[in-house]
C-alpha cells in the first residue's frame, strides 16, 4: 500500500471518529451505522484504517449529522 493511500485511510478513520465524537449528536458505531445505513463492521474498518469508503458511503455517513 502506498504512503498516500495509508494517509487517506487515516483521514477517513479520523473523519468517522470526529463524526461520532460531535457533542450533538453523540453516537456510537451502532447508532451511526443505523442512521446512515452503513454496516457497523465497515464503520469500524474505516476508523481503524482497514478500508476506505467510496463516495456514496461517505455521503451516507455524513447525511444523518447534516454536515
What pLDDT was estimated at residue 40? 94
Domain extents in the chain: 3-65
Q: Does domain 3-65 have CATH number 2.40.160?
A: no
Q: Which three cell numbers, joined as nine digits, stand for 18?
A: 470526529
Q: How far is CA 62 from CA 5, 12, 59, in A?
A: 21, 12, 5
| Region of residue 37 (phi > 0: left; psi between -120 and 50: alpha; otherwise: beta) | left
CB 39 within 8 A of CB 16: no
pLDDT in tens, the chain (67 residues): 566 666 666 777 777 777 777 666 678 889 889 999 999 999 999 888 898 888 899 888 888 876 5
Output the pTM of the full model. Answer: 0.66
CA atoms of 4 and 62, how far apart (whole Å): 23
Amino acid at each position: 500500500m502506498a504512503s498516500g493511500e495509508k494517509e487517506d485511510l487515516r483521514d477517513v478513520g479520523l473523519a468517522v471518529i470526529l463524526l461520532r465524537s460531535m457533542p450533538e449528536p453523540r453516537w456510537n458505531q451502532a447508532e451511526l451505522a443505523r442512521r446512515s445505513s452503513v454496516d457497523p463492521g465497515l464503520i469500524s474498518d474505516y476508523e481503524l484504517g482497514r478500508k476506505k469508503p467510496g463516495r456514496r458511503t461517505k455521503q451516507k455517513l455524513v447525511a444523518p449529522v447534516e454536515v
